């Protein structure tokens, strides 16, 4: 049935933002632990979302990561590893807003205290040739998940104290790291040229699929989450696109995460 003019679309109806959810990650994980016979324990305090899975695959191939026995999620596997003197938990291939936030909810319910996401993204404003990184300070809410967490607005914003904590952190880093805004979409194969042109006019640097939802979750639940866009492509519109760098970009991404984690852990007293 078509929505009549003036009616609220379902994505915005019956949200009751001030009301707690009847279905919680804690209860889901309780039952998962019971069914899987997993003892109660915490995952590492600093966790990573790796939507492309390149970091996870690289760590496993080198024998540097192991399955974390405390992770009770029904949908994914969490690996633990150490890098730069920090213990991390990481989940790969959680692509898209709804999946990323589902995993983020379960991570924080399992002992996570800081979450960093690094997602591959497509260039909108050609500030320089890919690959490079963007510390996302705000993301346009062109996905559905964020609207279940907070009322409509154009953008979700990173916690400014987390962005400020990175000031000067990447001056000597091997790959450029910019700070700016992105466009979060649910439908990558509906990135039409008129839409891309409109996003460029708003000075959105890149397009990705998770940040606005993760930042909405972070703001509402008061959890420290920081998202990076790894600008690796021009949406397949040039020959030789999607070249990420050494080990599919995982080496640079992991070093970036370690630098950011040290700064943020200090700010959060972790």
> In this structure, is residue 27 part of a structural domain?
no
- The most confident of 209-218, 243-252, 259-268, by mean pLDDT: 209-218
> In this structure, is residue 67 part of a structural domain?
yes
| pLDDT band, residue 2 (cuts 50/70/90) | low
> In this structure, is residue 14 part of a structural domain?
no
CA distances from 101 to 25, 108, 156, 203 (A): 11, 11, 14, 26
Instruction: Round to whole Å and give the CA distance between 3 and 16.
Output: 21
| pLDDT band, residue 246 (cuts 50/70/90) | low
Least confident range from 201-205, 221-225, 244-248: namely 244-248
Give mean pLDDT, residues 195-217.
97
Evaluate the CA torsion angle 103, 159, 22, 10 in order and state its sign: negative
Domain hosting residue 206, numbered range: 42-240+247-268
> In this structure, is residue 31 part of a structural domain?
no
Mean model confidence pLDDT for the chain: 93
pLDDT score of 79: 98
> In this structure, is residue 18 part of a structural domain?
no
Instruction: Round to whole Å and give the CA distance between 232 and 244.
Output: 5
> In this structure, is residue 87 part of a structural domain?
yes
> In this structure, is residue 184 part of a structural domain?
yes
Q: Give the CATH number for residue 257.
A: 3.40.50.1580
Cβ 194 vs Cβ 124: under 8 Å: no
Give mean pLDDT, residues 140-151.
98
pLDDT tens digits, residue range 118-134?
Answer: 999 999 999 999 999 99
Q: Does position 149 have pLDDT exceeding 90, yes or no?
A: yes
Share of the chain above pLDDT 70, in %: 93
pLDDT score of 235: 64
Q: Does position 91 have pLDDT exceeding 60, yes or no?
A: yes
> In this structure, is residue 28 part of a structural domain?
no
Q: Give which of 75, 110, 122, 96 is closest to 210, Cα–Cα.
A: 96
Q: Does position 244 have pLDDT exceeding 70, yes or no?
A: no
Tell me the CB-side half-sphere exposure of residue 221, using CA atoms within 13 A. 26
Q: Report the b/e string of 230-257 with b at 16+ CB within 10 A.
A: bbbbebeeeeeebebbebbbbbbbbbbb
Number of residues that make up the chain:
270
Q: Does position 167 have pLDDT exceeding 80, yes or no?
A: yes
Give mean pLDDT, residues 162-174.
96
Q: Does position 247 have pLDDT exceeding 60, yes or no?
A: no
Count: domains in the chain:
1
């Amino acid at each position: 049935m078509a929505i009549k003019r003036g009616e609220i679309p379902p994505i915005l109806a019956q949200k009751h933002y001030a009301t707690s959810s009847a279905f919680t990650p804690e209860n889901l994980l309780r039952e998962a632990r019971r069914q899987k016979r997993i003892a109660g324990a915490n995952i590492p305090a600093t966790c990573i979302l790796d939507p492309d899975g390149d970091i996870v695959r690289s760590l496993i191939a080198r024998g540097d990561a192991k399955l974390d026995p405390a992770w009770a999620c029904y949908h994914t596997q969490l690996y633990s590893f150490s890098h730069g003197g920090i213990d991390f938990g990481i989940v790969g291939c959680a692509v898209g807003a709804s999946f990323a936030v589902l995993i983020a909810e379960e991570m924080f319910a399992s002992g996570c205290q800081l979450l960093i996401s690094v997602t591959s993204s497509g260039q909108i404003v050609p500030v320089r040739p890919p690959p490079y990184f963007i510390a996302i300070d705000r993301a346009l809410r062109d996905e559905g998940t964020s609207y279940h967490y907070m009322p409509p607005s154009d953008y979700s914003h990173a916690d400014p104290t987390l962005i400020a904590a990175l000031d000067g952190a990447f001056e000597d880093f091997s790959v450029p790291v910019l700070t700016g805004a992105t466009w979060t979409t649910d439908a990558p194969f509906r990135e039409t040229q008129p839409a891309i042109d409109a996003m460029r006019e708003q000075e959105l640097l890149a397009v990705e699929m998770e940040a606005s939802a993760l930042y909405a979750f972070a703001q509402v639940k008061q959890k420290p989450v920081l998202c990076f866009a790894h600008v690796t492509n021009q949406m397949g519109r040039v020959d030789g696109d999607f070249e990420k760098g050494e080990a599919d970009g995982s080496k640079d991404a992991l070093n970036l995460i370690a630098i950011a984690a040290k700064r943020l852990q200090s700010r959060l007293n972790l």
